[in-house]
Amino acid sequence: MTSTSAPRIAIVGAGPGGLTCARILQRHGIAVTVHDRDAGPDARDQGGTLDLHADGQIALREAGLLDAFFRLARPEGQEMRQLDPAGTVLFHHVPEPDERFKPEIDRGVLRGLLLDSLRPGTVHWGRTLRAVTGPADGPRQLRFADGTTLEYDLVIGADGARSTVRRALSAAEPRYTGVSFLEAWFHDVTTRHPDLADLVGQGSAAAADGERGLFAQRNGGDHVRVYVIQRVPADWIAAEGLTVRDTDGIRARLLDRFRDWSPRMRRLVSDNDGLYVDRPIFALPVPHTWEHRPGVTLLGDAAHLMPPLGVGVNLAMLDACELALALARHDTVDEAVRAYERTMLPRSVETARALDGAAEHLLSTELPDFAAAEQG
């Protein structure tokens, strides 16, 4: 994009996708502003760990951050154990010392890396977006909850599952998949939960019996997160007369539901430090596409929310990379967005179709494909 055009570009959402897009744009001399509803970078927990495979690493290379990423990542986090409800190890993958296929990094650490790479003042915090308005041929207007309105030539929606920017392109709403996560946190596991630390190892451990499952994930800082996976109504906690703050009541329900599992495995649902976090799993209808409209586009979960099966952040960062490069290489914003959407939409539809209904696989007793391949 020629410097004389000086388009006004806004990204809504300071997650990995939005920040990656901003970083690559700035590396190509393109000005950009990021708006995020959080009061600041530390306003809330950023979630657990994630693995960055080829797509995410390609984006970080374009962002000039791949070496920094490898210094912060935990390659040992690629360790994977598949257990049964008794706690017996069915499969165990131990990564090679130099394995870089999909190293783990805490979401907060990745976000910090991206934030620190941006020019000061790029991210405007405390900006809750209410609507995207403006004529079809632009410019677009962002209307915020504080009453302010800002005008841009391009609005990039990187604002996640409940995207406000999406409404300017699509009437689609995420639908409940029928599977829900309940997140439990364990701190100082080496000292306070040594049995759990030994069970999970340096990476992750999963177990399921067809109706319920557990996925335990080692995080940095000697933390472990456990995701209790259930096929339940999205409002199951309220339906049982509980609230998310009723830790004892939820714990009693979980111990009853996992009563046939071994005492060691049951500790994964009962010995957590603090409150549980309710995370019902939603996904956008498949396929989710839209007719091109000037001045607005989407990336990441805003464009293609899917079940959490290891592709979400990687796809978001690939989207971000391709959109930023398109804006750098085309003469106009509209040409760039059209080129980006021609590639991104078919890719996201193909991936979403492959994962449609796949949340149920989280409860399967079958070994993962990579485990079967190694055993074969």
Q: What is the CATH number of the domain that holds 185?
A: 3.30.9.30
Give the pLDDT confidence of 294-318 residue by residue, as tens digits.
999 999 999 999 998 878 999 999 9
> Does 110 share its domain with 217?
no
Where does the pLDDT of residue 5 fall: very low under 50, low under 70, confident under 90, or very high at 90 and above?
low
Mean pLDDT, residues 270-277: 95
pLDDT at residue 57 above 50? yes
Mean pLDDT of 106-124: 97
My answer on whether 275 and 295 are in the same domain is no
With a cut of 60, say whether residue 106 has pLDDT above it: yes
59-62 contacts, C-beta under 8 A, 24 or more apart: 59/20, 59/24, 59/317, 59/318, 59/320, 59/321, 60/20, 60/317, 62/24, 62/27, 62/321, 62/324, 62/325
Rounded to whole angstroms, the Cα distance separating 112 from 42 reads 10
Say yes or no: 160 and 215 in one domain: no
Q: Return the CATH number at 73.
A: 3.50.50.60
Query: Is there a domain that residue 203 lies in?
Result: yes
The answer to whether 16 and 36 are in contact (CB under 8 A) is no
Distance CA 279, CA 112 (A): 24
Same domain, residue pair 121 and 187: no
Query: What pLDDT does 296 receive?
Result: 98
- Binding-site residues for NADPH, please? 44
How confident is residue 3, by pLDDT bands cut at 50, 70 and 90? very low
Instruction: Check: CB of residue 250 under 8 Å from CB of residue 180.
Output: no
State the pLDDT confidence band at 1, using cuts at 50, 70 and 90: low
φ/ψ region of 188 (left if φ > 0, alpha if ψ in -120 to 50, else beta) reads left
For 336-350, write each residue's pLDDT tens digit.
Answer: 999 999 999 999 999
Residue 122 confidence class, pLDDT cut points 50, 70, 90: very high
Check residue 370 and give its pLDDT.
Answer: 43
* Residues annotated within a binding site: 44, 51, 107, 301
Burial of 291 (0-12, 13-18, 19+ CB in 10 A): exposed
The confidence score (pLDDT) of residue 252 equals 97
pLDDT at 368 over 70: no
Tokens matching residue 332: 């106009």
pLDDT(68) > 60: yes
Asked whether residue 70 is domain-assigned, the answer is yes
> Which of 228, 248, 281 is at the close of a domain?
281
Using CA atoms, how far apart are residues 61 and 53, in angstroms rounded to an integer?
12
Q: Does residue 92 lie within any of the structural domains?
A: no
- Can you give the pLDDT at residue 150? 98
Indicate whether 275 and 314 sit together in one domain.
no
Domain-located, residue 64: yes
Q: How many domains does the chain have?
A: 2
For residue 85, is it within any domain? no
Q: Examine the pLDDT at 325 and tell me if it is beyond 90.
A: yes
Q: Where among 231, 265, 281 does a domain terminate? A: 281
Residue 192 vs residues 184, 195, 202, 224: alpha-carbon distances, Å? 15, 9, 16, 11
Domain identity same for 182 and 141: no
The separation between CA 25 and the C-alpha centre of its own chain, rounded to angstroms, equals 21
Q: What is the pLDDT of residue 376?
A: 35
**Straight-line distance from the first to the last Cα atom of the chain, in angstroms, rounded to the nearest whole number:** 51
Please state which of the ranges 47-56, 93-102, 167-176, 213-222 shows the lowest mean pLDDT.
Answer: 93-102
| Nearest Cα residue to 103 out of 67, 79, 61, 75 | 75
- 3-state SS of the chain: helix, strand, coil percent to 5? 40, 25, 40
88 in any annotated domain: no
| 98, pLDDT greater than 90 | no
- Do 105 and 217 fall within a single domain? no
Average confidence (pLDDT) over 40-68: 91
Q: Are residues 288 and 277 located together in one domain of the fold?
A: no
**Model confidence over 125-182: pLDDT tens digits?**
999 999 999 998 889 999 999 999 999 999 999 999 999 999 999 999 999 999 999 9
Residue 93 lies in a domain: no
pLDDT tens-place string over residues 8-33:
999 999 999 999 999 999 999 999 99
Six-digit token string for 215:
């996925």
Which residue positions form the known binding site for FAD?
A: 51, 107, 301
Question: Among the three residues 247, 281, 315, which one is the final residue of a domain in this structure?
Answer: 281
Domain range spanning residue 134? 3-77+101-173+284-360
Tell me what percent of the residues of the chain surpass a pLDDT of 90.
85
What's the pLDDT at 374?
39
Does 332 lie in the same domain as 270?
no
Residues 12 and 112 grouped into a single domain = yes
Residues 296, 153 share a domain: yes
Inside any domain, residue 38: yes
Torsion, Cα 214 220 221 223, to 10 degrees, reads 0
241 and 254 fall within a common domain: yes
